[in-house]
Amino acid sequence: MPTELGFVVTRLMKENFKGIVDVAFTAGMEEQLDKVEEGAVPWQQVVSDFYTPFEKDLEAAGANIDKVKLPDPVSDVPCDKCGAMMVIKTGRFGKFLACPNFPECRNTKPLLEKLEVPCPKCGGDILKRHTKKGKTFFGCANYPNCDFVSWDKPVPGKCPRCGGILVQRMGQNGPFIACGDRTCGYIQRSRKDKE
Ligand SMILES: [Zn+2]
Ligand SMILES: [Zn+2]
Ligand SMILES: [Zn+2]
């Protein structure tokens, strides 16, 4: 899926650089470059034909386009200080939740990343969390009502041996998929092995 920023950039390019955001331009340029290669046209001519109108477009775009400020995506988490729905911001250390009423309300929270896999105990969401020391683990969103927790990242699918959850573990040769229950011991063979 294109991002919001991608849509904005494409729209601005189409509006302000009609001459080059165009299939005919690309095809024509290729033809011209072929002629340069063949020695039929001097490259200075080709570059000048391109650059003279482009320079004007560039100047006009610089004067016409306002600085674009994308709205922050709204999360489904209410601010526990003022009740506003918190927005997702990107900082130096990744994404986090911030109150939209900044600077009146300066509340921020870590953004909890939700996995695509439901909790095997209660069907709720599994969230990526961090211990106080920064180690990643995965826990049920319904904690403390549900005590599901895993150091390894749960992945979609069921263990074909015991029907339990599958998790991703790190091995010497990179990540591999295995049963979440170590006493079961099931390990999924990699795609390479299957081939
Ligand atoms: Zn707030
Ligand atoms: Zn649960
Ligand atoms: Zn198993």
Between the CA of 28 and the centroid of ligand 3 the distance, in Å, is 60
Tell me the pLDDT tens digit for each residue of 41-90: 999 999 999 999 999 999 999 998 888 888 888 988 899 999 999 999 98
Q: Which ligand neighbours the alpha carbon of 188 most closely?
A: 3
The full set of domains in the chain, from first to last, is 4-64 (1.10.460.10), 74-110 (no CATH), 113-194 (no CATH)
For the beta sheet containing 136-140, the strands, ordered from the edge strand earlier in sequence to the opposite edge, are: 113-118, 125-130, 136-140, 149-150
- In the structure, ligand 1 is a single-atom ion and the residues with CB under 5 Å from it are 79, 81-82, 99, 101, 105, 107
- Predicted TM-score (pTM) above 0.85: no
More confident residue, 96 or 193: 96
Q: Which ligand neighbours the alpha carbon of 162 most closely?
A: 3
Residue 166 pLDDT > 60: yes
pLDDT for the residue 93? 67
